[in-house]
Structure 1
Amino acid sequence: MKVLLYFEGKHLLSKSGIGRAYDHQRKALEAVDVEYTCELNQTDYDILHINTYGIHSQKVIKQARKNQKKIIYHAHSTEEDFRNSFIGSNQLSSLYKKRLVRLYSSADRLITPTPYSKKLIHSYGIKQPIDVISNGIEIEKYAPNQSKEEKFRAYFGLAADQKVIISVGLYFERKGIIDFIEIAKKFPQYTFIWFGDTPLYSIPSQIRKIVQGNHPSNVIFPGYIKGDILEGAYSGADLFFFPSYEETEGIVVLEALASRQNILVRKIPVYDEWLFHGENCYMGKTNEEFANYLEKIVEGQLPDLTQKGLLSAEARNLKEIGKQLKNVYEEVLSIN
């Protein structure tokens, strides 16, 4: 069995959740010894496992179908998480949905990260079987490390006792960036850092102005940072605050959990079956609730939930994800 893992636009999407999911797929398959290639010029594969939605992706599907290959579409995206992102996304969302339906319907099987995203995709009228498999997480990579935490604090010039709240994501309204700023205004004594980057020309002016300077002085937008500094931030901050309104899973949430970090997220349906308020995370619905929980978490007035959060991440380690992918591949190949 050999798999062609296809990802269109690697340069443009490498910083996104889809880009990290693609990297996780490769590592998951390596962990369970499934042979794969990322090279389109190879034709000796059995299954096309496709992750993207561009024009070239459509051509790759057509060629795979012509060569009688099995096709698995990784359904990372929905109409719901396309909205409130780029300029014009709300106006184009219905057309985007039609394209998703057309592409997803071209596959033999779909994989999506959560029961919530499976429910959404089924609601589009798609008849293909859908398997739920998490995007997974590299547990060891995010284990707390004193050296990384020191690099994080040194990079931002933070005092040892400075309280820090972080978030990670694209500059999208959907990600809750406006609420992040509003909460930061309530706590000038804390430092708020939003890691991530999006081309400013592609986002609405309201969000562009926030990133360019229309935010309180205790907020930092350092752009896209990876490696030791980000990993040190995950474990070395006082809280991971992610007020996103819509996700298909949220890889950054898994990264924070793997980092033994307390997390505060918005109560939205995607978390219904794996995150539980007061057990492995804290959840709020309004900025008033966020402010209340945030202060109590940072000041140590609420129980530490990091150990149970870690267990939730460990259940999604890449070797386990690799086993699940392998099972789906074998099932698809067994169907004539």
Structure 2
Amino acid sequence: MKVLQYFENPGLISRSGIGHAQRLQQEELSYTDVVLDTNPFSKDYDLIDVNTYGPKSAAMVAKARLQSKTIVYHAHSTYEDFRNSFIGSNLIAKPFKRYLVNAYKQADLIITPTPYAESLLRGYGLTQPIIPISNGVRVASYRKNQAKITKFRQFLNLGPEDKRKIIISVGLYFERKGIADFVELARRNPDYLFVWFGYTDLRIIPKKIRNIIRTDHPANCLFAGYITGDVLQGAYSGADLFLYPSFEETEGIVVLEALASSQKVLVRDIPVYADWLKDGVNCYKAKNLDDFDDKLHQILSNQVKDVSKAGHRVALARDISKIGQELKNAYERALSLPSKESK
């Protein structure tokens, strides 16, 4: 089986969740006998897996249809997670939803990260097969490694005498990510160090969030910028808590990375986690700001059970070595479907 993987403008999306998904998919498929092609001018393929939604993506889909190729769409984005992101996102969210639905309708089969995301897509009226497959995580990269933890602490200029508890989060500078709550929790807890990893061009985010990033945050809240590799991996395992207050996700790759690090994880209690993250079993969940405040104290003072080992098992079930076979199975199913012309 030869699969053409298509991502539009990969340079622009490299720091986004979709860009991360691109790299993961390529690694996952390396565990299979699927022949992966990324050349957009290729004609020698059985199936195209489209991951982006711009005009070039639409043109690729149209060309594939003319060539009677099977089309799979990776549905990373939804109307719900588009809102509350950049300037004007809420104003164009409904037109974006219509555009997104029209794009997804072109697919013979859709892959999306979670059953929750599948339910959203069904709510849009999409009727073709939809298969939930996790984005996956490279578990081996997140094993506890003291050298990486040292790099993380050095990056933040934290000496051995600094015994503060460290709470981290990872994400774009979007309101949807719960960044305002993260900063408020730092303000309420001056004895803890709060570190947010990730970056978004400040020119495209609303003024309220821009002000938070620039000046309206306490001294114990640091914005570390876009960091990858050893420093970030060291942060996941070297921190005392991964706190993810996002209001909407289709999965949350960074949550999987924290779980893979055997880190203690505290997330907002939102529907996307309902079927795979269980409060008090493999993570902890909070409903609002006060709940986050209470839970983080309970976790950091060991008043509640440490469930990080169970969380690690969740990540192991989504390791890249397993996800590749799931992708291959989905491709085989897509290839077995009748073509759109004969439906």
The TM-score normalised by the length of structure 1 is 0.99
Offset at residue 97 of structure 1 (A): 0.4
Offset at residue 265 of structure 1 (A): 0.4
Distance 2:229 2:215 in 1: 26
> SS in structure 2 opposite 1:64?
helix
CA contact (8 A) 2:108 2:337 kept: no
Partner of 1:7: 7
Aligned match for 1:278, one of 274, 277, 280: 280
Partner of 2:205: 203
Distance 2:159 2:167 in 1: 14
Partner of 1:252: 254
Instruction: After superposition, give the CA deviation of every residue in 1:88-115 in whole Å (9 maximum; x if it has no partner).
Output: 1111110010001100000100000000
Offset at residue 301 of structure 1 (A): 2.3
Aligned match for 1:188, one of 183, 187, 190: 190
Q: 2:180 is aligned with what amino acid? A: I
Partner of 1:162: 164
Instruction: After superposition, give the CA deviation of every residue in 1:246-265 in whole Å (9 maximum; x if it has no partner).
Output: 00000000000000100000
Aligned match for 1:263, one of 265, 269, 279: 265
CA contact (8 A) 2:169 2:244 kept: yes
* 2:216 corresponds to 1:214: yes
The TM-score normalised by the length of structure 2 is 0.97
Partner of 2:238: 236
Offset at residue 10 of structure 1 (A): 1.1
CA contact (8 A) 2:113 2:132 kept: yes
Q: 2:165 is aligned with what amino acid? A: K
Partner of 2:134: 134
Runs of 5+ consecutive residues of structure 2 not aligned to the other structure: 339-343
Structure 1 segments of 4+ aligned residues over 6 angstroms from their partners: none
Distance 2:164 2:229 in 1: 22
Q: 1:24 is aligned with what amino acid? A: L
CA contact (8 A) 2:74 2:111 kept: yes
Instruction: After superposition, give the CA deviation of every residue in 1:56-92 in whole Å (9 maximum; x if it has no partner).
Output: 1000101111111100000001000000001011111
Runs of 5+ consecutive residues of structure 1 not aligned to the other structure: none
Instruction: After superposition, give the CA deviation of every residue in 1:226-253 in whole Å (9 maximum; x if it has no partner).
Output: 0100000000000000000000000000
CA RMSD of aligned residues (A): 0.8
Partner of 1:20: 20
Distance 1:2 1:68 in 2: 15
Distance 1:176 1:270 in 2: 15
Distance 1:335 1:17 in 2: 29
Offset at residue 300 of structure 1 (A): 2.3
Partner of 2:63: 63
Q: 2:323 is aligned with what amino acid? A: I
Offset at residue 178 of structure 1 (A): 0.4
Distance 1:329 1:128 in 2: 14
> SS in structure 2 opposite 1:106?
coil
Aligned match for 1:329, one of 328, 331, 339: 331
Offset at residue 298 of structure 1 (A): 1.6
When structure 1 is superposed on structure 2, of 24-33 and 157-166 the one drifting more is 157-166
Q: How many residues align?
A: 336
Offset at residue 287 of structure 1 (A): 0.8
